[in-house]
Structure 1
Amino acid sequence: MPALPPVPAPVTLPIHGSDRRFPVRRIFCVGRNYAEHSREMGGDPTREAPFFFTKPADALVTSESTIPYPPRTADLHHEAELVVAIATGGRDIPEDQAPAHIWGHAAGNDLTRRDLQAEAKAARRPWDMSKGFDNSAVIGALVEGPLADAPITCTVNGRLTQSARLSDMIWSVPEIIAHLSTYVDLRPGDLIFTGTPAGVGPIARGETCTVAIGDLPPATITIA
C-alpha cells in the first residue's frame, strides 16, 4: 500500500507589528463591486445582488514575493482589492452585526488570467481556471481592528493604474458579509476580497505591482 502524502502545511498570513500569524481557511471574492469597473467589464453597475467566486487558500502569496508568470495565459491582470479577515462566523448574519465578525483588514491583489476569463464567459463556463490558479491571491500583512474609508490604489512599476476610495464600493463590507452568509456558514479564518475599482490591466514579466490602501501595509509582488 502506498504511503499517504504528507499533511499540507497550514496557510497563514502575517499580522502587522506581531510575530503571530492569522490562519486562513477559505478565500471568497466579490465580483464587480465598483461601478466604473463594472462598466469597463461590460456590466451594469446597478445594485443587483452581489455574486461570489472563490480561490483556494493555498493560492495565497504574501507581500514582497516574486512569483512566476502563470502558465496558459498571455494576459495576466492586477485587481486591487480590500481583503477582510473573519474572526467569528455564522449563517444569515444581520448587516448591523457584521462588523463584529471582522478580525481585521489587508491590501490584496486578485490576479486574473483575463484571456481565460474571457474565453470562459464566451462559452458560459466557470471562471475557476482564470481566478483560482497558483499564486493568484496576493495579500499584505493584516491589521487588526476596524477600518475607516481610505484611498485604494494600484501601481505597476511606479505607474498609477487604479485609484478610488473604499467608499466607492457598490456593496459595503457589512452588506457583503451579510449576503455571503446567506450562501455559506462563514467561519473564523475566512477571507473576503471585496471587489476592485476601474483600471484593471496587465502585468508583464519583470514588472512589480503594488496595491496600497490607506495606512495598511501594501501588497507588492514582482513577476519573475
Structure 2
Amino acid sequence: MKFKKTDVQVQIRLLIKINNALKIENLSLKKANSDADYNQIDKRWVDSYKEMWHFDNKIATALKLFTGEVKPSLHPEMLKIDISQLRDSRRVFLTELKDEIVHKIISFFNENKILVVSDILKGRGGFAADWILVTRYNKADDTTTWILKDINTAMNFFGKGEVKVSPRGSLYIGKITMQRKGGTPDPTKLQFKIKPCELFKLEGKKWKK
C-alpha cells in the first residue's frame, strides 16, 4: 500500500466470525509510561505528504525549510528575518517565515484537517486502523491501565481544536503536533506526534505522572 502508515507500532488484526460471515478489524496499539509525553504517529519526507495531500510547491518549499531538508540560504525571500538571526542555521521555524506563507500553511491544514488527521492516525487501505488501544504503565505502583476507542472517536478527540503555530514555532493541528523529526536517522523528515495518554480523558481518568 503506497500511503500506509509509517510509524512503528503494533498492528493487531481481529478476525470475528459470526455464523458464516467473517469480519476483520485492525487495532493500533500505543504503549506509554505514565511519565511519557509525546508519541510519534507518522513521519515522511515532505514530498510524500505533497503526493498524498496535494499542497502546492510553495507550501512544500516552506515545509522543507521547516524540516531543514532545504537550507534557509536557498530561499531567503521566504524569511521575515535575516538568515543570521535564525534560531537554528540548519532550518527555519514557522515563526521565522513570512506571515503570508504561515497563513497559507495554516489555511491548508484547516481546510484539509479531516484528511490529514485520518491519514496520520487511521491510515489507508487494508491496514487502516479501526480501533486504537492505549496502554499506560504506572511505575509508582507497577500497574497497567488501558483504554480502547474506535478510531473515529480517537480522530475526533485528537483533531479537535485550532490549527495554529505553537509558541516554539511548530504547528498544532488540534491536539496533534507537526514538527521537524530531528535525531537520527532522517532528521529532516516531517513528523506528527500526539500525547496518547490524553485519550484517558475521554473516560474522566486523570493522567497521573
Q: TM-score, structure 1 length as denominator?
A: 0.25
Structure whose residues are more often strand by fraction: 1
Structure whose residues are more often helix by fraction: 2
Q: TM-score, structure 2 length as denominator?
A: 0.26
Q: Rg larger in 1 or in 2?
A: 2
- Which structure has more relative contact order (CA 8 Å, sep 6+)? It is 1
